[in-house]
Structure 1
Amino acid sequence: MSTDNLLNIVFGVLGSVALLVLFILNVFNYLEEDSYTYLWVNALGGLCACLAAIFVKYWPFVALEASWTLTSLVRIGLKIVRRRI
């Protein structure tokens, strides 16, 4: 197995598991979608999934995961700004 293939698998699994666990925790009200934990893990999970999609050049999924990641980062930024006001 090549290093690129291994990285693709690692990033894909980490990203998918992170996003799935967050979804389940949110559905069962164990983690609020406004919490920093949710937002940061969502951003990192989306980034990992995005990188995995880039490795295999699956552009629709790259767009989806990049927008997922950016949305989480924007929400983190807005939350920080609102705390300072």
Structure 2
Amino acid sequence: MNRDEVRCRDVVALLTDYLEGALPVEDRVALEQHLLTCEGCTAFLAQLRTSIALTGALDQEEVAPALMDAVLALYRQRQST
């Protein structure tokens, strides 16, 4: 994948691997080039990092099961679009 091939939809699908350091170098570079020019994707990445930081501070017992189910449903819906 090169930087001209990266679209915003691709970014959403790749961000988890990007944050985990699991992207191949070529894909990581293409993604980072896209982030340099796309404010929307850069903002989404910042939101994702904030969400990870905040939820990482929670204990599982602090999250109501219904809330966890709702969050997971939203995540799955976002991944499928």
Same fold (TM over 0.5): no
Q: Compute the TM-score of the two structures, normalised by the length of structure 2.
A: 0.33
TM-score (norm 1): 0.32
Q: Which has the higher helix share?
A: 1
